[in-house]
Structure 1
Amino acid sequence: MTRAMDRTQELAAFLRSRRESLSPNDFDLTSRRRSRRTPGLRREEVAELAGISIDYIVRLEQARGLRPSADVVEALARALRLNPDERAYLFGLAQHRPRNTDKPSTAAAPPLARLVADLSPLPAMLMNHRYDILDWNAEMARLLLDFDTLPPPRRNSMWLCLMHPGIREFYVDRERVVREGIAHLRAAWATHPDDQALSDLITEFIGHDEEFARFWAERDVKVNGRGHKTLRHPEVGMLTMHFEVLIPLQDPDQRLLIYRAADEQSQSALDRLSDH
């Protein structure tokens, strides 16, 4: 393996570059007043900020064959004030999966809300990893239901599928839709261990819906980003929709769901729905 492709060497170089790019004046450090011959933080200062021994920092920056644990990588990312992209890069170099430390989205990012509106006449809505519905366009409201009539805590697509009387019979292949939703929630639960609201939601579903409890116990895990659903709409009858779920790079906790008619009959039904 060449030097340019060596992860250990790149990890060392990346840590040095981030350390040297920081201003000591931005930190409350015991050694800040000492004279400096080089820019940036000293290794002992990074060690102090990260709670790691100086010797370990030296060995990492000298590429001496260490593979830091996920805890050490997280401590270094915080000490070096890495942005989300830099943090993900550091975790990748250390061959660990980044931990999700962002607070779950509870409101639509404004650019994504504008995109949802601009996607008309395609039905579209924005959700977070919990399936909380953050924003939607008029076409999606006509296709599913008027989300404005629901209290915010109930604007959740899994809750609607399980508990809402008008939606329980809406999906022709309801069992598959529920199973896929549960498999997604299990994946989200694993990657968001500190999201108490998600844990509470799952606990509620297990306690109040026998079907959910049975499928949850099967421990299927799958993030489903593409597929189709056949819907039994009370106003325009049967229609089949292709769906695509997109995750924006700048707002990775938000998911953009877009529906498209799967055939001419379904498109005709959508057109009639828009005329209502």
Structure 2
Amino acid sequence: MHATSTSDQTRRQELADFLRSRRERITPEQVGLPSTGRRRTPGLRREEVAQLAAVGVTWYTWLEQGRDIQVSGQVLEAVSRALLLDPNERAHLYTLAGAGDPSPTTDCLAVTPTVRVILDQLSPLPACVLNSRYDVLAYNDSYTKMFGDLDLLPFEERNMIWLIFTDRDYQARWLDLEGARAQGVARFRAAMADHVADPAWKAMLARLRQASPDFEEAWQRHDVGARENGSKGFLHPEVGVLRMDFTYLWLGLRHGTRVVVYTPADEETAARIEELARL
């Protein structure tokens, strides 16, 4: 019993330290809260995390102090979103809390080994998996050759909307950058209607508005667009112009996670895709 008790205490202390470290790395602006000037401590305050997660301040304080309290998976999910945890951090949170995950991250768990095999088998056609927020969750080698190596980027920057407004190399690969930006913002706004209170979505929106005046201008137009199959043009630095049709293959509920497959729109592009595969 004593060994078990000591183990539980150690785990709760690890949980407390982890929560505090995640809280201290986030600024109010990242989660859509107003800045209140200089702060005595870095990051968010405990009451702000509690507010974002819609939990009691006392309860969250006790959780961060490593007290022996009941923790449900649903509340951990809210805390995870408030702290902007990535999938690995989220899983770590549930493990430390000793709680079962009531709603495993649908977007990320949709990228099963089977889906990854499908992505690989689609080569030489470029393909990726997007979630509803336009995070790029997985991609095949052909997608990397067409758009660049996303593995070199931090997890939070592997997002199509973020890249099209902030990454010069990514921007240079679009024939109609302004059209792609306008369409991307309109579709992002339409998707966000289902997630207006989600801290992760609010944080992404705040980051975009702060990072890009062009995004802010497009956002203020309040355009909305549907996520439908279509066509795009790209300029690859080695093989030239690629005119591609793209098709959504939904992995769950429509407007959620999907595989996006790019196929050549003409014979010239088909030849260039084969050339790209040989690079």
Q: Into which bin does the TM-score normalised by the smaller protein fall?
A: 0.5 to 0.7
1:145-180 deviations in Å (ceiling 9; x for gaps) = 112111211111111111111012211111111111
Structure 1 counterpart of 2:264, one-letter code:
A
Instruction: Give the corresponding residue for 2:111.
Output: 109
Structure 1 counterpart of 2:228, one-letter code:
G
TM-score by length of 1: 0.60
1:244 to 243, 247, 263: 247
Instruction: Give the corresponding residue for 1:154.
Output: 157
TM-score by length of 2: 0.59
Structure 1 position 195 matched with structure 2 position 198: yes
Partner SS state of residue 129, structure 1:
coil
Partner SS state of residue 112, structure 1:
helix
Distance 1:251 1:182, change over 3 A: closer
Instruction: Give the corresponding residue for 1:261.
Output: 264
1:37-87 deviations in Å (ceiling 9; x for gaps) = xxxxxxxxxxxxxxxxxxxxxxxxxxxxxxxxxxxxxxxxxxxxxxxxxxx
Partner SS state of residue 257, structure 1:
strand
Instruction: Give the corresponding residue for 1:229.
Output: 232
Conserved? CA contact 2:252–2:258, under 8 Å = no
Measure how far apart 1:247 and its partner are. 1.7
Conserved? CA contact 1:104–1:128, under 8 Å = no
Conserved? CA contact 1:108–1:135, under 8 Å = no
- Partners of 1:178 and 1:250 lie apart in 2 by 25
- Partners of 2:120 and 2:197 lie apart in 1 by 32
Instruction: Give the corresponding residue for 2:188.
Output: 185
Q: Which has the larger radius of gyration?
A: 1
Measure how far apart 1:196 and its partner are. 1.3
Conserved? CA contact 1:248–1:254, under 8 Å = yes
Q: How does 1:32-47 map to 2 (within 5 A)?
A: none
Distance 1:114 1:251, change over 3 A: farther
Q: How does 1:1-276 map to 2 (within 5 A)?
A: 105-110=107-112, 111-249=114-252, 253-276=256-279
Partner SS state of residue 214, structure 2:
helix
- Partners of 1:250 and 1:213 lie apart in 2 by 29
Structure 2 counterpart of 1:138, one-letter code:
D
1:162-209 deviations in Å (ceiling 9; x for gaps) = 111101221111111111111111111111233211111111111221
Instruction: Give the corresponding residue for 2:84.
Output: none
Conserved? CA contact 2:111–2:137, under 8 Å = no
Distance 1:165 1:147, change over 3 A: same
- Partners of 1:238 and 1:160 lie apart in 2 by 20
Partner SS state of residue 191, structure 1:
coil
Percent identical pairs in the alignment equals 30
Structure 2 counterpart of 1:263, one-letter code:
D
Partner SS state of residue 173, structure 2:
coil
- Partners of 1:109 and 1:275 lie apart in 2 by 26
Partner SS state of residue 230, structure 2:
strand
Distance 1:108 1:149, change over 3 A: farther
Instruction: Give the corresponding residue for 1:36.
Output: none
Distance 1:194 1:113, change over 3 A: farther
Task: Report which structure shows greater RCO (CA 8 Å, sep ≥6).
Answer: 2
What is the count of residue pairs matched by the alignment? 176
Unaligned runs of 5+ in 2: 1-102
Conserved? CA contact 1:128–1:134, under 8 Å = yes
Conserved? CA contact 1:109–1:251, under 8 Å = no
Moved over 3 A (4+): 101-104, 249-252
Partner SS state of residue 274, structure 2:
helix
Measure how far apart 1:258 and its partner are. 0.5
Distance 1:134 1:251, change over 3 A: farther
Measure how far apart 1:107 and its partner are. 4.7
Partner SS state of residue 105, structure 1:
helix
- Partners of 1:274 and 1:231 lie apart in 2 by 16
Unaligned runs of 5+ in 1: 1-100
